[in-house]
Structure 1
Amino acid sequence: MHASAHVDTFARDHLPPLAQQPTYLFDLPQLQFPARLNCATELLDRHVREGRGARACIRAPGLAWSYAELQDQANRIANVLVQDMGLVPGNRVLLRAPNNPMLAACWFAVMKAGGIAVATMPLLRAKELKAIVEIGQVTHALCDAALAEELRLTVQEQPALRAVRYFHDDGPDGLEAAMAQASPHFDNVDTAADDCCIFGFTSGTTGVPKATMHYHRDVMAVCACWPPHLLRPQPDDVFIGSPPLAFTFGLGGLLLFPLAVGASTVLLEKAGPAQLLQGIQDFGATVLFTAPTSYRQLAAQGALLRTARLRKCVSAGEVLPASTRALWKEATGIELIDGIGATEMLHIFISHDEATARPGATGKAVPGYRAKVVDDNGRELPPGTVGKLAVQGPTGCRYLADARQQAYVKDGWNLTGDAYRMDADGYFHYEARTDDMIVSAGYNIAAPEVEDALLAHPAVAECAVVGVPDEERGQIVKAYVVLRPGQAADAAMVRALQDFVKQTVAPYKYPRAIAFTGQLPRTQTGKLQRFKLRDA
């Protein structure tokens, strides 16, 4: 490892032992990174330095920033972080906002200052934020004033989160007021290529969140692998999409990849199908990132989309049904680019381009990565056999001080938790998750977390949560509930339990279907048999 620029060494001190980390591949020429690397220098400042500062960079309804303007904003925020908020390199900074230009500026400010960005989903509640703050030992936060309430509740219980500023706040204590007094110049911290710059949180199968640790070189590696080989974006492209920047799918597709080539990106605070359609038309978007659920709904507007500038459409976040691929091609004339990524790997590692797409197949290993299907003992399986997906590349799983590292990484390979089979031509075909993760409309939902929320309701004696197939969302959350004596198993109770869950955890996790039952299937030792509920 290179000499760290981090004064706060928490991240490096809590990396998994090298023996538990995957084997990293740097075979491609573009993956030969220097020892000192700050991704903000490469993704943002380079364009200004090389004379492209006036190019359009970030756009949103009623707002447009050039590369130079984004740099100005990020530099001012970096100065506020360091001079006003006491940030030292290696500190963790919680970022909380819907997709908007200020969130992007804050992210780059954290990179510049040598901090570690901990971006959070806008829908998360205080209970979930508290766990993230505890695990990541987060000390600073930059938050959109529109999302202040849950963070304020978190701060009350987490005194270590000592430095908080709110933006889109006109008051004297708001971030903008401090930025107005700050210098537009900032000397980026001379970080090591393997200094951590992102904690990407994933809830995993247990509902206890895991922090995945990513370096400055990882950020640049994902820009060097999938985009140039399979997406092939151009500087004149306009990116748009629905995934939050707190998802690594969204961070890559809506910030890293457009800036890597000097293109522009559209950030929408609300990005349902209607808003995406409007944005595609209003901003002349050419590259779209969203989930299959959204493509299915947008396909109804095929006639309008055929008149737009759209030329590249990327699907990830959940499995792409062959019927959705066909529907989109028929509606728009555009072949979807499918891909599978993971928070642990940072972004897409199996994919294809338009010319090599096959119905029902995710694709082949992205240049820079390699993949295979293995059995429970790690032995490679022959084509046509379903097994566990194993991956290696320039990025890989590093959980922050988490025993689950040893389950994800075996013999130098990342085991993603997906069941796949590879055909005779080397194409990988998704079969299922190998755990109890529910993937609904692109969101990963851990069954035990929803169960915990339901069990906190006084009417619930027992419950079990599973994912069940759904044509629109891929899967939906279904809860089987055993009520306490005297409680009515009726429609009013269904609504009451659904509302209760929405108030406890992020609303997208609530059970869309609830079935009341007298007992749950268990083994003789009392272990819940979720597979029986799924089969039912």
Structure 2
Amino acid sequence: MSNVKFRNEILLLLEKYGAQNLSVAELLCDRHAKIPEKVALFYESENGDSVKYTFAELKELSSKFARVLAEVGIQKGDRVGVMLPKCPEMVITALAVWRLGAVYLPLFTAFGPSAIAHRLTDSEAKVVVTDTNNRPKLEDLMTKLPVSIVTVSDQFEEKVAKDEYSFWNEMKKSEPIRNVTLVNGDDLLILLYTSGTTGNPKGVKIPVKSLASFEAYMRFALDLRNEDMYWNLADPGWAYGLYYNLIGPLLIGKATLFYGGPFNPNEVYRILEKYSVTNFAAAPTAYKTLINAGKSAALKYKSFLRAASSAGEPLNPNIISWAQEVWGIPIHDHFGQTELGMAVNNHHLPELQEKLKPGSMGKSMPGFKMTVLDAEGKELGPNQEGQMAVDILNSPLYWFQNYWNDTENTKMAFTSDGRYYFAGDSASMDEDGYLFFSGRSDDIILSAGYRIGPFEIESALMQHDAVSEAAVVGVPDQLRGEIVKAFIILRDGYSSSNEIAKELSTFVKERLSAHEYPRQVSFLDELPKTPSGKIQRFLLKNAEYKVISC
């Protein structure tokens, strides 16, 4: 595929998704529903029940739920929080939100009340769609926030309280809404909160035109073909799962596969075989867990894999070797972030495939020009370490402009002239254009594919009566890449112990999120700080302290 052809394809994508008077529901669903039997979703529950939905069925169901949302008061531009596990109702809800020209606000199901409250308050969401397992997390928020709740359950119960609705009961009574709300390429599609180094999570504004970048990744990097069976393990509560597990397949008319149970190596292998999965994507932690289950577990099941991809954190070369041994194919490492989508890949598309270099995340995806900058914002030469950045002027698929109600963090994300966007990672680029990850250039923790900011965890710890001061860092971990470690100064009257360490860990887990809690705790008499009082987390990372594992 020539550079001219790539340029032409990118221009066509930009023209399609950056236009005026677009229907997102048409782009993701309705145009594919013209083939009645075309499957959009395979769903496998934890107990082994399976069901499939066609694009035509999703069109009808999402049109009904769009009516429900409209009657609750949702209009174009309104934010709708969605706290659902991977399930058919999540897909129905997303399409219904976009059918109304509203904005999808993902809420990861592991979030606790504090994390949920910040996102709902800051976004001014009007409705939250959740399920019976997650509904209790909203209990205390109901008296503080003017938000309506729609709950998915197995029962067709009537409305249970004021401003609360039963998903399937309302659907049963609803007539499909036939008129879609038109939007433009610059209108907001998603508002997704990502962890920051300081302060609360930042709201990333994701416009409709970002669909051009999402489709490019599905085609150029994943090489998703008509005959492929695709499975992406990532949760749509986060960017990779939302962009490329929920949206990406729908965009190009491909079925996606949702598994509703917890991660289990034997279940992963079973589903790979049952559905004859040919194109697979997951975080390195998932691959590491498969490796730890042993080769015998892998070899019990037949593999149909043609392509395997990894994203979320750097991929260790031994994982690639393992895949080559058990599946006969290498895993291709990819890089992206919430503000970019995927931008650097070891591409699967034959015309873009090149030799895999150990430790490299690959090369810039067509439509992006990634570079490495020095401290003054100037591009560095080959093999020089600096800050990885996007050359916006030469990246037509780049779409991020600013954070939601956050001018300070927006300003910090770009060079002073606005030419480059900082990806937040230290990296180098060799003479062939391969990028190599060196580390985070801030205090973000990369754990099991999740980006975790220290501020939220420190704030949660400070709510405990025993804590006088707290600092959080990421420390190396063989399985997860990094884990959260907390350094605590206790108040007078409290003594360090295994019991208080576990209590603090549980305290964060219950209030914030099941993926962000400290797995290690150390107790100190004082924290290292700058003269201005800022915590020097790098000193905590590099020093030896007595650790209590939780």
State the TM-score, normalizing by the size of structure 2.
0.88
Tell me the amino acid that sits aligned with residue 541 of structure 2.
R
Whether the aligned pair in 2 keeps the contact of 1:31 and 1:224 (CA below 8 Å) is no
Whether the aligned pair in 2 keeps the contact of 1:498 and 1:512 (CA below 8 Å) is yes
**C-alpha distance in structure 2 between counterparts of 1:179 and 1:253, whole Å:** 27
The 5 A counterparts of 1:474-493 are 474-493=481-500
Tell me the amino acid that sits aligned with residue 25 of structure 2.
A
Q: Does 1:290 align with 2:260?
A: no
Match of 1:122 in 2: 109
The 5 A counterparts of 1:70-469 are 70-82=58-70, 84-159=71-146, 161=147, 163-168=148-153, 169-173=155-159, 174-218=166-210, 220-274=211-265, 275-299=267-291, 300-301=294-295, 303-304=298-299, 307-345=302-340, 347-354=341-348, 355-356=353-354, 357-391=356-390, 392=392, 393=395, 394=397, 395-403=399-407, 404-410=409-415, 411-469=418-476
Q: Decide which of 38, 43, 63 is 2:23's aligned counterpart.
A: 38
Q: Deviation per CA, 1:36-60: give whole Å up to 9, x if none.
A: 22222112111113xx221221111
Match of 2:539 in 1: 532
Secondary structure at the aligned position of 1:157 is classed as coil
Match of 2:5 in 1: none
Change (3 A) 1:407 1:262: same
Tell me which moved more, 298-307 or 189-198.
298-307
Tell me which moved more, 450-459 or 93-102.
450-459
Q: CA deviation at 1:234?
A: 1.6
Q: Deviation per CA, 1:133-154: give whole Å up to 9, x if none.
A: 1211111222222211112322
**C-alpha distance in structure 2 between counterparts of 1:305 and 1:442, whole Å:** 27
Secondary structure at the aligned position of 1:214 is classed as strand
Tell me the amino acid that sits aligned with residue 396 of structure 1.
F
**C-alpha distance in structure 2 between counterparts of 1:427 and 1:419, whole Å:** 14
Q: Deviation per CA, 1:12-66: give whole Å up to 9, x if none.
A: xxxxxxxxxxxxx9953332233222222112111113xx221221111222111
Match of 1:21 in 2: none
Whether the aligned pair in 1 keeps the contact of 2:230 and 2:257 (CA below 8 Å) is yes
Match of 2:162 in 1: none
Change (3 A) 1:241 1:228: closer
Q: Deviation per CA, 1:368-405: give whole Å up to 9, x if none.
A: 11111011221101111111111133222421120210
Whether the aligned pair in 2 keeps the contact of 1:241 and 1:271 (CA below 8 Å) is no
Tell me the amino acid that sits aligned with residue 239 of structure 1.
Y
Whether the aligned pair in 2 keeps the contact of 1:399 and 1:405 (CA below 8 Å) is yes
Unaligned runs of 5+ in 2: 1-7, 45-49, 160-165, 544-550
Q: CA deviation at 1:329?
A: 2.2
Whether the aligned pair in 2 keeps the contact of 1:37 and 1:217 (CA below 8 Å) is no
Q: Deviation per CA, 1:333-358: give whole Å up to 9, x if none.
A: 2211211111112x101111254222
Match of 1:507 in 2: 514
**C-alpha distance in structure 1 between counterparts of 2:141 and 2:274, whole Å:** 38
Tell me the amino acid that sits aligned with residue 145 of structure 2.
Q
**C-alpha distance in structure 1 between counterparts of 2:250 and 2:384, whole Å:** 40
Q: Percent identity?
A: 29
Whether the aligned pair in 2 keeps the contact of 1:241 and 1:289 (CA below 8 Å) is yes
Match of 2:36 in 1: 53
Tell me the amino acid that sits aligned with residue 77 of structure 1.
F
Secondary structure at the aligned position of 1:479 is classed as strand
Whether the aligned pair in 2 keeps the contact of 1:296 and 1:327 (CA below 8 Å) is no
Tell me the amino acid that sits aligned with residue 425 of structure 1.
D
Tell me which moved more, 356-365 or 423-432.
356-365
Whether the aligned pair in 2 keeps the contact of 1:91 and 1:139 (CA below 8 Å) is yes
Paired residues in the alignment total 505
Tell me the amino acid that sits aligned with residue 479 of structure 2.
E
**C-alpha distance in structure 2 between counterparts of 1:279 and 1:450, whole Å:** 35
**C-alpha distance in structure 1 between counterparts of 2:402 and 2:332, whole Å:** 28
Tell me the amino acid that sits aligned with residue 530 of structure 2.
T
Secondary structure at the aligned position of 1:314 is classed as strand
Q: Decide which of 490, 502, 517 is 2:524's aligned counterpart.
A: 517
Tell me the amino acid that sits aligned with residue 443 of structure 1.
Y
Secondary structure at the aligned position of 1:41 is classed as helix
Secondary structure at the aligned position of 2:446 is classed as strand
Match of 1:67 in 2: 55
**C-alpha distance in structure 1 between counterparts of 2:479 and 2:357, whole Å:** 22
**C-alpha distance in structure 2 between counterparts of 1:42 and 1:136, whole Å:** 25
Unaligned runs of 5+ in 1: 1-24
State the TM-score, normalizing by the size of structure 1.
0.90
Tell me the amino acid that sits aligned with residue 473 of structure 1.
R
Tell me the amino acid that sits aligned with residue 151 of structure 2.
Y
Secondary structure at the aligned position of 2:58 is classed as helix
Q: CA deviation at 1:429?
A: 0.5
Q: CA deviation at 1:278?
A: 3.1
Whether the aligned pair in 1 keeps the contact of 2:303 and 2:327 (CA below 8 Å) is no
Change (3 A) 1:337 1:446: same
**C-alpha distance in structure 1 between counterparts of 2:470 and 2:483, whole Å:** 16
Q: CA deviation at 1:479?
A: 1.2
**C-alpha distance in structure 1 between counterparts of 2:206 and 2:533, whole Å:** 39
